[in-house]
Structure 1
């Protein structure tokens, strides 16, 4: 499940230009599926907070499609939860480590 989570995190985060605290603060209800993709409600601003809805569309290449990656992760998460395997939230530091690991796996220097 870690690979599915990391792929979904990196691909969706890229499309809404996330900083590490953005996906760390998301709740399941902040991501909404639509026929053309996803809408991610992201909290913005360091001092004056507001919410912006980032629209993420399907990619033509299924291997790097953020929508397909998110759907695969959510499907697997639901299946794992049925068997009593809970998951907790993620911190910004954890998100940074996931991104760095994904870069190393592709040969990109973080």
Structure 2
């Protein structure tokens, strides 16, 4: 928990405060996201008829990229469950999306301007 708080604080300092004005629950996740902790990773989230599509692109150091596409569902306000393995939580006060991969593994993502 302290690690997530430290990540969120460092992102707040480095990226500034951004806010999303969600019109529909879950709209706060839609967009392109980058992380200072995972510099080679970009996440793009789009709304579909059945929920959400999450594309995670990881740049390869030798060129090219690996792209993983997974479906996601909004389990409660501010929480997106992705592909049965990951949880994305959105902090409305900071505009930061925290990707939780396990009990001790998390990374903060900041929305990229369109």
TM over 0.5: no
Judging by fraction of residues, say which structure has more strand. 2
Structure number with the bigger relative contact order (C-alpha 8 A, sep ≥ 6) is: 1
**Alignment TM-score, normalising by the size of structure 1:** 0.33
